[in-house]
Structure formats: structure tokens, C-alpha cells
A = this chain, B = another copy of it.
Amino acid sequence: MSPKSRTFIEQARRAQIIACAVEVLADQGYAHTTLARIAEQAKISTGVISYHFGGKKQLIEAVVAEVARVATDLMVPRILAQSTASDGLRAYIEGNMEFMRLHRKPLLALVEVITHTPGEEGGPGPYAAQAEVAIADLEKVLGWGKRTGEFRDFDQRSMAISIRGAIDAVPGRLLHDPGFDLDLHTRELVTLFTLATRRDP
């Protein structure tokens, strides 16, 4: 029935291992995320991970896919529910912040993986595409507002890169800045980019 039919217990184990990988990634960072530590967290032996995922690379892939799925499920409906591009942009920013608030550790894990997984010889890294997609999605929202005349005449790509950059700066704050106020920051971000994108009054 399911696309890749798996035992129930198999699915449970996979989910548990992914959860433990997220935990270790978020708590100890990519560099300290070894199969041994993940196995220790799950109170299993390292072989189990290879058994269920084939290898570390595939486990990481599964982590990314899982977190990306959760993030998408959370954010996409919120954006599509808006009736103006301006509200769409607001929903995009708020959705991202909401995800960070609700799924702190999965987010941090995702960031660790995306920023630290090395590519070949200084190449782009296997998860660069993930970031590319996020920018492309953002560009769609911006294009929408451009067409409706809600937004001023900026370079869409530059704006998308900058919004994404501003959003991507948040996880680092969340991690190590105890005084960081996510709700305040969300409001400020929305205001910032509303002012920056709106057609001049």
C-alpha cells in the first residue's frame, strides 16, 4: 500500500533513529554527530543504523527529507491561504518563524546538515539545492506582488536572497543568544520587508 512498504516496527525504528539524529545534530553540532553518538542516544548499536538506512549519508538524507516535509506542511498552506502578495510575504516570514518556534531542534538539525555537509573539492555541497528551492519559492511570492502592482520595482532575486538571509540569521540567534525575542523579531522582520517591498507611498 505505502510507497515503500515497511513493517510497522521498521518505520518506528527509522523514526526513532531520525529523531535521535536530529537531537544529536541540534545539541552537539554536525561535527560531533557520529553514528556512535546517534546510536548511544537511541541506546542501540551502530550497526542498526546501517541496517535501517544503509549508511550515514542516507540517514542524513532521511533527516533532511523529514524536516523539510514538516516545514513544508506547516508553511505552504499558510502562504497559499493569503489573498494578497503582501500578506503572502508576511505569511512566508511568519511561517518560517513559527516553524522555528515549534520545531527548534529539527530546524537546527537541518541548518547543521545544510551548512556543514561537505561537497567534493569545494563544490556546492549536496544540500545547496535545498536552499536554492527556498529562494525560488520566495521569488514566486515576490513575482506575485510585482504582477499585482503591490510591490515596487526591485530585483526579485536580490530581494529573495536578502529575505532568506535575514531569516537564516535567526537560528544562530535562537541557539546562542539567550535574550533573543522571537516574537518581537518576527514583527520587526515583517515590518522591515513590508517597507522594503511596498510600492512607494
In the complex, the answer to whether B176 meets A161 with C-beta atoms within 8 Å is: no
Question: Which of A157-201 touch B at CB < 8 Å?
Answer: 158-159, 161-170, 172-173, 175-176, 184-185, 188-189, 191-193, 195-196, 200-201
Least CB distance from A165 to B in Å reads 3
Chain B residues within 8 Å of A77, by CB:
none
Q: Is the CB of A32 within 8 A of B192?
A: no
* Cα distance, A172 to B161, chains bound together (Å): 10
With both beta carbons as reference points, the residue of chain B lying nearest to A194 in the complex is identified as: B196
Q: How many residues of A contact B (CB 8 A)?
A: 47
Interface residues of A in 13-70 (CB under 8 A from B): 26-32
Q: Say yes or no: B196 contacts A32, CB within 8 Å.
A: no
Cα-based distance from A37 to B29 in the complex (angstroms): 25
Closest to A179 in B: B157
| Contact between chains at B184 and A155 (CB < 8 Å) | yes
A175 proximity list for chain B (CB < 8 A): 124
Q: Does A122 contact B (CB under 8 A)?
A: yes
* 16 pairs, CB–CB < 8 Å, chain A vs chain B: A27-B122, A28-B122, A29-B119, A29-B125, A32-B121, A115-B115, A116-B116, A124-B176, A154-B188, A158-B189, A158-B192, A161-B185, A162-B169, A162-B188, A162-B192, A164-B169
